[in-house]
Structure 1
Amino acid sequence: MGQELLEVVTFSGTIKKKFPLVEVYYQDDNGHKQNLMCYVYDVFTRHITVKGMPHYIITNAPNESPLFEKISDPASRDIDHGNQSQGIGIILCSTSINRLRTKTNILHIPELDILLEPTIFGVSISGAVPTCFKQNIEVVLANHIAPILLKDESDKQLFAAENTHTLQEDLNFLWGQESLGILPNEIHSEDKIAIDIFLDTVQRDTTTGKFTVRLPWNNKKYMLTENLQVAAARTRRQQEIMIKDRSYGEAMCAAKIELESGDYIEMVDTTSQNNNVKYYLPFRGVRKDSNTTACRMVMDASSKASASDISLNQALYQGPNLILDLAFCLLRFMLGTFGVIADIEKAFLRILIAECDRDALRFFWYDDPYNRRSKLITYRYKAVMFGSVSSPFLLAAVLQKLIKDDCENIIVREALERSIYVDNVVYATNSEDTILQFFGDSRILLNKGNFNLR
Structure 2
Amino acid sequence: MTELKRRERKLVSPFPSNRKTVPRGQYTIAALQTTVRKACFICGKDHALENCSKFIRMSPKERMVNTKWLGLCFLCLKKDHLVASCEAKLRCRLEEYSKRHHPLIHLNQERSSVSENQPNTPEENKVHVTHTMVGNRGTLLQSARARLYNEEENSMILNCLFDSGSQRSFVKKSVAEALSLKGLFEIVNIGSFGSISSECLRVRRVKFWLTSVRDKSHRKQMVEALCLKKITDRLNVRLDIKQYSHFTSLQLAEDFTNLSSTFDVLIGLDYYYDFINQVIMKGQKGEPMAMHSTLGWIICGPTPGKVMTKNIKTLFAKVEDHVDDILKKFWDMEAIGIKDEEKGIDSKASQLFEKTVHFDGERYEVQLPWSNEESQLPNNYKQALDRLIQTEQSLRRNPTKVQLYNNGMKEYLENEFVEEVNDVQGRPGGTWYLPHHTVLRSSTKYRIVFDGSAQFRNDSLNRQLDPGPPLQHDLVQILLRFRRFCIGLQADISKMFLQVGLNEKDRDVTRFLWRELGSQEAPRIFRFRRVCFGLTCSPFLAMSVTRHYALKHLQGFPLGVNQVLENMYVDDIVFSVDVEEEARETVRQLVALMNKGGYHLTKWVSNLGAVLADVLSEGIMGKNTMTSKTLGIVWDSENDELAYRSILGRVTQNVN
Deviation at 1:220, TM superposition (A): 6.7
The CA deviation at 1:321 is 0.1
Displacement of 1:177: 4.2
Separation in 2, partners of 1:242, 1:12: 24
How far does residue 186 in structure 1 lie from its aligned partner after superposition?
3.2
Amino acid across the alignment from 1:403: A
TM score, norm. by length of structure 2: 0.40
Equivalent residue of 2:518, what SS?
coil
1:349 aligned to 2:498?
yes
Instruction: Tell whether 2:551 aligns with 1:404.
Output: yes
SS at match of 1:244: coil
Question: What is aligned with 1:244?
Answer: 397
CA distance 1:369–1:324, shift in 2 (3 Å)? same
Q: Which amino acid aligns with 2:446?
A: C
Q: Which one-letter code corresponds to 1:354 in the other structure?
A: N
Distance 1:276 1:382 in 2: 19
Check the 8 A contact 2:384/2:512 in 1, yes or no: yes
Q: CA deviation at 1:246?
A: 0.8
Partner SS for 2:347: helix
Aligned partner of 2:365 in structure 1 is 212
The separation in 2 between residues aligned to 1:171 and 1:355, in whole angstroms, is 39
Instruction: For 1:5-84, list aligned pairs within 5 A.
Output: none
Matched, 1:255 2:408: yes
Does 1:317 find its partner at 2:466?
yes
Deviations 1:153-194 (A, max 9, x none): xxxxxxxxxxxxxxx999643526459xx9952328xx7110
Please tell me whether the aligned partners of residues 482 and 488 of structure 2 are also in contact (alpha carbons under 8 angstroms): yes
Give CA-to-partner distance per residue, 1:396-423, whole Å, 9 cap, x none: 1000001001232334322321111100
C-alpha distance in structure 2 between counterparts of 1:436 and 1:362, whole Å: 43
Contact 1:184 1:321 in 2 (8 A): no
2:381 is aligned to 228
Structure 1 CA distance for aligned equivalents of residues 331 and 425 of structure 2: 51
Indicate the residue corresponding to 1:299 in structure 2. Answer: 450
Say yes or no: does 1:413 pair with 2:568.
no
TM-score (norm 1): 0.57
**Aligned partners of 1:231, 1:392: CA distance in 2, in Å?**
24
Within 1, Cα distance between the matches of 2:383 and 2:375? 19
In structure 2, the CA distance between the partners of 1:437 and 1:193, relative to structure 1 (3 Å rule), is same
CA distance in 2 between partners of 1:261 and 1:318 (Å): 29
Are 2:435 and 2:450, in contact at CA under 8 Å, matched by a contact in 1?
Answer: yes
Change (3 A) 1:183 1:382: farther
One-letter amino acid of the structure 2 residue matched with residue 433 of structure 1: E
Give the CA deviation at 1:361: 0.2
Q: What residue number does 1:185 align with? A: 342
Compare relative contact order (CA 8 Å, sep 6+) and give the higher one, 1 or 2. Answer: 1
- How many angstroms apart in 1 are the aligned matches of 2:326 and 2:598? 46
Larger radius of gyration: 2
Is the 8 Å Cα contact of residues 415 and 427 (structure 1) preserved in structure 2? yes
Task: Give, in whole Å, the separation in 1 of the partners of 2:389 and 2:25.
Answer: 31
Amino acid at match of 2:452: A
- Checking the alignment, whether the CA contact within 8 Å between 1:241 and 1:249 is kept in structure 2 is no
1:428 aligned to 2:576? yes
Q: Give 1 or 2: higher helix fraction.
A: 1
Amino acid at match of 2:368: L
| Correspondence for 1:441 | 589
Contact 1:266 1:382 in 2 (8 A): yes
Give 2:521's aligned residue.
374
1:276–1:359 Cα contact (<8 Å) kept:
no
> Equivalent residue for 1:332?
481
Deviations 1:321-360 (A, max 9, x none): 0011111111111112111110011110000100111000
CA contact (8 A) 1:400 1:417 kept: yes
Matched, 1:359 2:544: no
- Aligned mate of 2:353, from 198, 220, 244: 198
2:624 corresponding residue in structure 1: none
In structure 2, distance between residues paired with 1:263 and 1:275: 26
Structure 1 residues 342 and 250: alpha-carbon distance in aligned structure 2, compared to 1, 3 A threshold: same
Say if 1:169 and 1:316 are closer, same or farther in 2 by CA, change over 3 A.
closer
Where does residue 607 of structure 2 map in the other structure? none
Describe the shift of the 1:320–1:183 C-alpha distance in structure 2 as closer, same or farther (beyond 3 A).
farther
Give the counterpart letter for 1:376 in structure 2: P
Quote the residue 1:173 is aligned against: 330
Give the corresponding residue for 1:72.
none
Whole-Å separation in 2 of the counterparts to 1:341 and 1:433: 16
How far apart, in 2, do the equivalents of 1:403 and 1:359 lie? 30
The structure 1 segments of at least 4 consecutive aligned residues displaced by more than 6 Å after TM superposition are 8-13, 168-171
| Equivalent residues of 2:560, 2:587 under 8 A apart | no
CA RMSD, 1 decimal? 2.9
Q: By how many angstroms is 1:431 displaced?
A: 1.1
How far, CA to CA, are the matches of 2:326 and 2:413 in structure 1? 48
Residues 407 and 445 of structure 1 are in contact (CA less than 8 Å); yes or no, is this contact kept in structure 2? no
The 1:314/1:281 distance shift into structure 2, 3 A limit, reads same
**Correspondence for 2:540 among 393, 397, 402:** 393
1:100-115 counterparts in 2 under 5 A? Answer: none
How far apart, CA to CA, are the structure 2 residues paired with 1:301 and 1:245? 25
Report Cα offsets for 1:25-47 as digits up to 9, x if no partner. xxxxxxxxxxxxxxxxxxxxxxx
The residue type equivalent to 2:492 in the other structure is D
Q: CA deviation at 1:223?
A: 2.5
Q: Distance in 2 between matches of 1:444 and 1:220?
A: 37
